[in-house]
Amino acid sequence: MSTISKPLFLKLLYIFFFFCYSVSLSWSSSLSLHFPLTSLRLTPTTNSSSFKTSLLSRRNPSPPSSPYTFRSNIKYSMALILSLPIGTPSQSQELVLDTGSQLSWIQCHPKKIKKPLPPPTTSFDPSLSSSFSDLPCSHPLCKPRIPDFTLPTSCDSNRLCHYSYFYADGTFAEGNLVKEKFTFSNSQTTPPLILGCAKESTDEKGILGMNLGRLSFISQAKISKFSYCIPTRSNRPGLASTGSFYLGDNPNSRGFKYVSLLTFPQSQRMPNLDPLAYTVPLQGIRIGQKRLNIPGSVFRPDAGGSGQTMVDSGSEFTHLVDVAYDKVKEEIVRLVGSRLKKGYVYGSTADMCFDGNHSMEIGRLIGDLVFEFGRGVEILVEKQSLLVNVGGGIHCVGIGRSSMLGAASNIIGNVHQQNLWVEFDVTNRRVGFSKAECRLLP
């Protein structure tokens, strides 16, 4: 996992053996908060996506859970970044919004950032917050009866609970587990939540863990739903692209179309299933007018958990298991094979790439890319927005091979969630989509 240089989904969080028993899906939302959301991108791209849906009835929206809202302007890069107020008095912290992670963690002072990354521009100073507290070694999370390999903890020399996250791409974050409040206003303060206070990391921003685990932000804060609108990425360096993020009810939700989250028996939770992910019923893929000959079983977990399809805001590219990826590449080769950049692989997973500034022309030759979900819901990536600018004059189809990550899942990355409202309705176990125009700011 790297919040700046590599996709965020490179995690060792694919197997959650010991947290899944405590996930509760009957939370009630205690906050309704609105944040403009910025999708941060160091490498400019020209990708944009739109959404097409039909034949899906809508449920009546729930009554508002809170009269309060909160707004904040933030920056632009390849990850989705929120600037949140933490502590008492609050200190603004930049966090990567990650629906594929459980534990939230912040950059704490003092810290050591490994080269070549510069020190973070914002860092939390625990000494300035009256609501900050460390977790002692005696806390049950620090001394579980069964060791939790998704959150390795130990007792440090100060008898405080120490955690370490080591990710598959070589990045890491480690520090102490602590409790701290998110203080949005005098009348909007969460209870103390467990999060990591990183003293060392290879990344300059923290993580806002938003999956279904008991330690995620939404679980601890009892948030029933959240949603975001990811803006189109700009091809011009330095252009800030800003969208929106809601905790609680979204005033735009009347137009959302929903698919139900998939659930699985206990026997399917090992070894490859992530039971805390937002797993959706992907049914097929179209390129142009052609529906690819991919068995539907490829997109559903098998007895060992391989094949689930998850929506992950922390992943940049979409990734597919080998059977699906091979069919997509076969069609791309048939249509524009002579133009593929031979021997080039982006991010160690994506090899459908092209040289030069002909992305629009190549996109027209390929056609639209469509992800088909259950009940008529589709995510449409239009042909003019199909290729992603990865720098150096190279453009790639925004799809990688999951097996090159050591993963056995299909992952819908944020590059294919642009210009959509995406709502995670935890209480009703569903994900909603709606076409949107997420505003580009100059």
Sheet holding 387-391, edge to edge: 353-355, 394-397, 387-391
**What would the two tokens of residue 429 be?**
């176990």
Q: Checking DSSP bridges between strand 420-425 and strand 318-320, what pairing results, if any?
A: unpaired
**Marked catalytic residue, from 203, 249, 274, 312:** 312
3-state secondary structure of 372: strand
Single out the residue of 380, 384, 396, 382 nearest to residue 346, CA to CA: 396
How far is the C-alpha of 426 from the C-alpha of 420, rounded, in Å?
A: 18
Clarify whether 312 is annotated catalytic.
yes
Single out the residue of 397, 320, 414 nearest to residue 352, CA to CA: 397
How far is the C-alpha of 40 from the C-alpha of 46, rounded, in Å?
A: 14
Would you put residue 302 in left (φ > 0), alpha (ψ -120 to 50) or beta?
A: beta
Task: Identify the DSSP state of 38.
Answer: E
**CB atoms < 10 A from the CB of 143, how many?**
14
Clarify whether 98 is annotated catalytic.
yes
Angle between helices 322-336 and 359-366 (to 10 degrees): 110
How far is the C-alpha of 417 from the C-alpha of 398, rounded, in Å?
A: 11
The whole-angstrom distance between residue 377's C-alpha and the CA centroid of its chain comes to: 20
DSSP letters along 322-362, please? Answer: HHHHHHHHHHHHHHHGGGB-TT--BTTTB--EEESS-HHHH
Beta strands in 307-386 (DSSP E): 309-311, 318-320, 353-355, 369-373, 377-381
* Phi and psi torsions of 426, nearest 5°: -70, -40
Can you name the residues that pair with 51 across neighbouring β-strands? 379
- Residue numbers annotated as active site: 98, 312
